[in-house]
Every structure is written in C-alpha cells, then in structure tokens.
A and B are shown apart, each in its own frame.
Chain A
Amino acid sequence: MAIKHGAAAVVLLTAVALTGCSGTTSGGTGDAAECAPADGAVTLDFTSWIPGIEDVVSIWNEENPDIQVKVQTGPNGNGGTYQNFFNQLKAGNAPDLGQIEYDALPNFRVQDGLVDLGACDFVLDAKDDFVDWTWNQVSFGEDGSAYGVPQDAGPMAMFYRSDLFEANGIPIPTTWAEYADAAEKVRALGGYITNFSQVDINQFAGFVWQAGGSWFSTSGDEWTVDLTGTESTTVADYWQDLIDRDLVASYPAWTSEWDNAYNSGEVWTWVSAVWGANSIASGAPDTAGNWSVAPQPQWKAGDEVAGNWGGSSTAVFKGSDHVYEAAKFALWLNTSDEALTALNKAANLYPATKEGLSLPALKEGVEFYGGQPIYDVFAEASGQVAPNFAWGPTMTQTYNDTSDGFKAAVSGSGTLLGALESAQKSTIEALKAQSIPVKE
C-alpha cells in the first residue's frame, strides 16, 4: 500500500512537471478542454475578492437565468485566497472560476490547476479586444491558448506635486536622468523626490519591465530565470545611487508614516500604477488639488515606454464541469461595457480591454488631481507597456527573497543588485526543489 502510494506520487509529480512546462509551440496541451454547452441550467462558483463583485455578478444572473453564478469571497490572493485555491484543488472541490493576478498565474499553471480555454473558440476570438500585453499574460505567449481571461491592468505613470514643482521652478522630469537631477533639487529643499519601497518588488519589476527586461522565460521545457540581466542591473544601479545619496525616502509602503510623508509634502512624486490614484487621494487628503499625472520618466529621451504594476485575470479551474459556461461568463465579466463600468465603479478596476479604456467614467476630470482627466495618461501608457514581460512559477518566494535583500540595502548593508543576485540563486533552487526544469 505504502509503495503503491509512493509510486503514484512520483507519477503525479512527473505529470505535473510535464504538463506545466511542455508545449510552448502548439496550444491546447494537457487535456483538450471540452468546451460544449451543458444541457440544462448550470450554477457556477466564482471566487473573487473584489469588493462589490456581487453587484456586478447579479447583472449577469438577471440576464442569464440558465447560467447562474454564485460569488464566493475572501481576503486578497496573497492574503490567503491563493493558498485556499491550492487546498481546494488538492481536495477536488475548487470553484469553477477564480480571480488570479498575473504574477500568480504561472504558479497555478505549473501545478496543473487551470483549464486551457483555447478550446473555446469564442475566447480566442476575443484576443484582439484585449491590450496586447495582457493577453500575453494569460496565453504565456502560446498561440491558441488562454489560461484565463484578462481582467484588469496597472499601467504606470508618474503622480507628482505640480504645485511644489511649479513654486520651486523645477521642471517636470521626462527622463530618469532628469528625475535624478530633480531629486537633488528637491532634497536641497528638504523633501524627497519619492519613496523607494523595499517591499513592493512589484513596483521594481514594473521599472525593469519598462526598461525592457523580463525576469522569466520558457523555451521548450525549461524555465530561464533572469533577475540580473542588463536591464535589471541598470534599474538596480539607478535606484542604488539615489539611495546612497539619500535622495529618496524609505518608509514602509501603505503605512501611516507613508501616508503622512505624502500628506505633509515631504515626498513629491510616486511612479505608480493607475490604481495608485486612489491610494494618494485617500492617504494624503490635505494635498487635494495639488497633484498631477505625467507619463513615467524614460530611459532614453523621446521614448514612449511604460511599465505595469498589478492586474489580474479570471481563470477556470481544473475540475470544473462547465468550462463553456464559465468561459462565457469570464468573457462577459471582462469585456462587456456594463460589467467593466460596474467593476470600475465598485473597485476602481482599470479594464484590460482596448475598448474599456474609453469608458465614460475614465474620461472625466478627477477633482483630486485638479480636474485633470488623468486616465487619459494611463490609457496612453496602457498601449506602451512592453508585451513580453513574464512571471515565474514561484513568485511569492522570489518576492520575499528580493524584499529581504532590498530591506538590507535600504538600511545600508548590501546593494539592490546583490539582493537580485541572491534572489536569482534562491529562485533557481526553489524551481529545482519543485522538479521544474530550469536552465542555468
């Protein structure tokens, strides 16, 4: 009995490793997902942590009496819901659909937890509706595959205190070199140009993304880890220099001190994603009307490239009996105007579709930003995000290791590049430990 179990486990592990990493050439690997409508009415379970998602889903339920969707909820993905998904997959009672952020998607795929929606023609037909890079996040660059439907995106731009820049005659930086110059001037006035976050490795990844780097790639069966490529090194050295010269603050992000630094005018800019608009508005209420949004600084003058920070997809889990209906719902949720408008209203979700970027709600001027129609800047940025950045299957561990190193670097022991180097090593080890083939 014990031997049998052991053997079964080995077979299972191998299967997981194989299905996870095979077939980068042709789509529809693994089980060819059945994508046929069910005979009668079906009920789908959908887990998402978007506040107010029930209201969005109830629009669907009213229009589709035969495909009823039941919402399940919980804390955000890394706050426990991803772990729950894995537990449920193990126990065989995963929901039909779940919200998964792009950076966690490869992990679910490697664990063989996702249905390839490539079998559903109508999903593939929708490919061109989505902003190019978001589609790549769910297809992993394979033609004819879709391991989820893109939901939202986090194109980056620069939030800045227009009043302070103007009053002190400092030009708004358009390149990273100008940004460093401005940082010196701001520091001379007693402020900081920005806050370097040791914990939001996602933001740093967004910078690398903008610089043209990519941390992970697959070729054939193998993963390549590249946390220390030229682009990553450039970005790390740039920020290391600002840290060394005490030109950036280093408050832990999302804390009261952090809010206060922005609210009191100590920190002047934040290069962040579209959803950051809310973080500032809520964290720094006293500065209402003094903020503006400009494209993120460029590495080469005249370039027009943006990074991305965040975004998620709606995926269908292995074991779902109603792939067709689930795919129908996922597509409606993330492409229809009524759903996108409702999602934006409920949780400020920024759509991943091209059309969605011109929703009426995203064309209006925003009071906190002096009436500037800031979402125009982000819509522009959304089209400028490089399409090929990819995440690895062990991102939680990579984030943690990098973050540990970054914390040390900010407090003066070690460097950002050193942190990336050691995270590179530990990530390769983590992949090997899970029997995922990796190229060194």
Chain B
Amino acid sequence: MSRIGAMLIMGVFTLYFLVPLWWLFIASTKDRSQLTTTNPLWFSDFTLFENIGRVLAYRDGVFIKWLVNSLAYAGGGALIATVLAAACGYALAKYSFPGRDLIFNVVLGGVLVPATALALPLFLIFSQINATNTFWSVFLPSLVSPFGVYLTRIYAAASVPDELLEAARLDGSGELRTFATVSLKLMFPALVTVFLFQFVAIWNNFFLPLIMLRDESFFPVTLGLYAWNSQVNQIPELRGYVLVGALLSIIPLIITFLLLQRFWRNGLGAGAVK
C-alpha cells in the first residue's frame, strides 16, 4: 500500500519535471502560426529541423557564437575551478598550518553569499580596471567555488589515507607530485561532482553576464535568449527562436550529465561497502 503511494508521488513529481521539457520539445517542432493554435502537448507539422536551421542562421549565426561562449565559460571555468577547489580542499584537509580553521570558515561563509549579491560589486571593481565587457569579466569570477572547496575538503579527509601520503613521502615523492598522482585520483568522484555543480552554475548564471557584458559577441546563451525574449514585441518570430534556442541550450547540460554520471554514481557508492 505504502509502496503504491510512494510510486504515485514519484510519478506525479516525474511528470511535474518532465512535462515542461516535453512542452518545450513539442513547441520547438511547430511552425510559428501553430504555436498558439494547436494542442500544446502534441505534434502538428514537424518542422524542428527547419526551425533549428533558422535559429542557427539568424543574424549570421549569433546563436552558435553564444553556445560556444557558454561552453567556454562553463567548460573552462568549471575545469579550472575544480582544480583550484581540489588543491585548496586537499591542503585544508591534509596539512595543518596556522589559520587553517579560519580560512575554512571564511570559505564556508562564501557558500552562503549568493552570486547575485556579488555581481554589482564585481562590476564596480572590473570598471576600475576597465575590464567590463570582456570575456574575462565573466570568466574570472567563475573560477572560484567555495562549495567545491568544502566538498573536496570533506572528501579528501575521508578518502585519502594519511598512511598513503606517508608512504609516498618515504618513497621520495614531492608534495605536488603526490597530490597530482595519488590524491587527485582518490578524490576523483568528488571532483566530478564539483565539476558538474560548477558547470551547471556557470551555464545558468545570468545576472553576472547581464551586468558585465554589452557586446553581443561575448554573450552566453542564457543572456542571448533573454535579450531575444525581451524583443518579441517588436520581432514576433523571435518567440519561436527563443523556444528552439532554449531546447538547444539544454542539450550540452544533458550530455555533460550523462557522460559524468557514471563516475559520479561510482563515487557516491564507493565508501558504502567497505
């Protein structure tokens, strides 16, 4: 009985999450005049590929540029952020030095500050050095992840045995080499998690680019779609482009997630059966 109840609740929630995606997919396959006139949850003429073609061609392919930008911001940013977080968390977990707890507490405090609240001060700082409206103005602030430091510290403390480090030292391996060859491997599941979190966070970050960027060629896909959406009154065909663009823009997220979830699941289970 309770099993059926649980399944029912799960089913309802699954629907709740999937229906908007389904709607988005359906809407992307319709041509503009059918958007309002046909059943929003079922196909009419299937013009998905024509629609995609039109979005990609609009204004000399500016949408492709935005996708590439987003990949650069999110992919590059998440990669570097993960390495930095790993080094920092590892150091906090495995070395004892004065001020260690203070640093950790400050980092932990950083988790609590929403990125949105930092955007305006960042803008003023970047303005001082004339660096607003550049690739770096969005890329640099994405390189730090307090949550990543927190997670890697916890994980390093639990999964990198001190004995192993001692052994490596006895064998004559330097600290950096030990970190790169031994510890990083042991921490890999946590790193994948940090990467995923950071990738999604940068991909969806909207407020920072909104404040920093003026030049369309630096826009990430979220800001570009938002700008299109705000112009629908003037250019009605943009309504359809926004829908198709939104569908295209979640594909990289889905791919990243599917590729990495294997490692991720391994990692989460790793400590359970020991």
Contact = CB atoms under 8 A, between A and B. Distances in A.
Nearest to A260: B36
Interface string A250-264: 000010100110010
A275 B234 CA distance: 7
Interface in B78-106: none
A52 B215 CA distance: 14
A283 interface: yes
B238 interface: yes
Interface residues of B, number: 35
Contacts, number: 91
A281 interface: yes
Interface string A68-106: 000011111001100010011011110100000000000
A90 B124 contact: yes
B133 A72 contact: yes
A256 B36 contact: yes
A366 interface: no
A75 B227 contact: yes
Interface of A: 45, 47, 49-52, 72-76, 79-80, 84, 87-88, 90-93, 95, 254, 256, 259-260, 263, 275, 278-279, 281-286, 347-348
A219 to B, nearest CB: 35
B226 A72 contact: no
Given A93-B132, A254-B233, A84 B210 contact: yes
A405 B219 CA distance: 37
A263 B123 contact: no
B266 interface: no
Task: Classify the secondary structure of B's interface with A.
Answer: helix
A83 to B, nearest CB: 8
Contacts of B181: none
Given A50-B234, A72-B215, A75-B210, A282 B32 contact: yes
B256 interface: no
Contact of A263 (B36, B214, B230): B36
Contacts of B124: 87, 90-91
A278 B214 contact: no
A95 B128 CA distance: 15
Given A47-B214, A76-B230, A91 B123 contact: yes
A347 B214 contact: no
Contact of B238 (A51, A259, A260): A51
A346 to B, nearest CB: 9
Contacts of A282: 32, 236-237, 239
Nearest to A92: B127
B37 interface: yes
8 contacts: A51-B235, A75-B227, A93-B130, A259-B36, A263-B36, A284-B36, A286-B37, A347-B234
B57 interface: no
A347 to B, nearest CB: 5
A279 B230 CA distance: 14
Contacts of B159: none
Contact of B231 (A49, A92, A254, A284): A49
A305 to B, nearest CB: 25
A285 B230 contact: no
Nearest to B231: A51
Contact of B230 (A49, A52, A275, A348): A49
Interface in B216-249: 216, 223, 226-227, 229-239
Q: Which one of B123, B223, B227 has the greatest number of beta carbons of chain A within 10 Å?
A: B227
Given A79-B230, A285-B37, 17 more contacts: A51-B235, A51-B238, A72-B133, A73-B216, A76-B231, A79-B226, A84-B210, A84-B211, A87-B120, A93-B130, A260-B36, A263-B37, A282-B237, A285-B32, A286-B33, A286-B37, A347-B234
